[in-house]
Amino acid sequence: MTMPAIPYLESGDRLTRAEFERRYEAMPHGTKAELIEGVVYVASPVRFATHGEPHSRIITLLGIYAAATPGVRAGDNATVRLDWANELQPDGLLRIECGASMIDADGYVQGPPEFVAKIAGSSAAQDMHDKLRVYRRSGVQEYLVWLVFEQRIVWFALDAGDYRLIPADPDAITRSRVFPGLWLDLPALVRDDMARALAALQQGIAAAEHAAFVNRLRSVE
């Protein structure tokens, strides 16, 4: 049996970020892996109902918001370099171009994006513990986790160094603390009522607070 010149990544490997990236680049196309606290996690095949479909709903909303908000960019499965022991690949992200992260010379996100979203099926324990701690420590301001098997979505905001749940308002819409106008009807998302979810987002984009946010971003370009 011929061994590969560069060893494949395997879950449980303990590597530096440099070695993780060297091996990742040699993996077959389509492989998804993350480095969390120096430990490698190679993703399993993705199922439609428990990942692919909810992923598409979140990405649709983030893409619409970014399109309506100059100075904000959305990403889908983009590699994020947080530190020398953590390189993650969130399902979705929003970043402010003049914010805490940058696009480095390799084309990756360097530093914490302001908002990260994760679809958590079989990875729920990891997403709600190890990744949560990494994102919190790194300064990701908001972290949304869709707990597919529990049929609920939790949305955290960073407050005094800790993550606290953002409560829904009386109209059942949850509003971002960092991205004015990012209004998400989380129950509608869970039950696949995209028409209602899109209507809530459009209301947020039409709100005065969103217009003020866009003006602030333009003033620092």
| pLDDT, tens digit, 9 for 90 and up, residues 21-31 | 999 999 988 88
Total domain count, the chain = 2
At residue 177, does pLDDT exceed 90?
yes
Do 108 and 200 have their domain in common? yes
Residues 92 and 173 both lie in one domain:
yes
Note whether residue 4 is domain-resident: no
* Same domain as 29, residue 80: no
Predicted local confidence at residue 55, as pLDDT: 96
- 3 is a domain residue: no
Same domain, 96 and 186: yes
Provide the pLDDT for residue 46. 83
Does residue 4 surpass a pLDDT of 80? no
Confidence of residue 1 (pLDDT cuts 50, 70, 90): very low
In a domain, 113, yes or no: yes
Per-residue model confidence as pLDDT tens digits over 146-159: 999 889 999 999 99
- Parent domain of 37: 9-43
Residue 53 maps to a domain: yes
- Asked if 50 and 34 sit in the same domain, the reply is no
Of 187, 192, 152, the closest CA to residue 49 belongs to 192
| Residue 152, in any domain of the structure | yes
101 within some domain: yes
Q: Identify residue 164 by its one-letter amino acid code.
A: R
> What pLDDT, on a 0 to 100 scale, did the predictor assign at position 125?
61
Statement: residue 124 has pLDDT above 70: no
Query: Within this chain, do residues 21 and 75 fall inside the same structural domain, yes or no?
Result: no
HEC readout, 186-213: HHHHHCCCHHHHHHHHHHHHHCHHHHHH
Indicate the pTM of the whole model.
Answer: 0.91
Q: Do 133 and 181 sit in the same domain of this protein?
A: yes
Distance CA 32, CA 37 (A): 17
Q: Look at residue 2 and tell me if it is in a domain.
A: no
- Kindly state whether residues 24 and 56 are assigned to the same domain: no
Instruction: State whether 26 and 113 are in the same domain.
Output: no
| Under 8 Å between Cβ of 196 and 183 | no
Amino acid at 148: V
Pair 189, 125 in one domain: yes
pLDDT at 137 over 90: yes
Instruction: Assign residue 65 the CATH number of its domain.
Output: 3.90.1570.10
Query: Domain check: are 102 and 208 in the same one?
Result: yes
Does 100 share its domain with 25? no
Lowest mean pLDDT among 38-42, 53-57, 157-161, 192-196: 38-42
Q: How far apart are the two ends of the chain, measured CA to CA in Å?
A: 56
Q: Is residue 1 part of a domain?
A: no
| pLDDT value for 121 | 74
Contacts for 158 with CB less than 8 Å, ≥ 6 apart? 136, 139, 140, 141, 142
Q: In which band, very low, low, confident or very high, does the pLDDT at 129 lie, cut at 50, 70 and 90?
A: confident
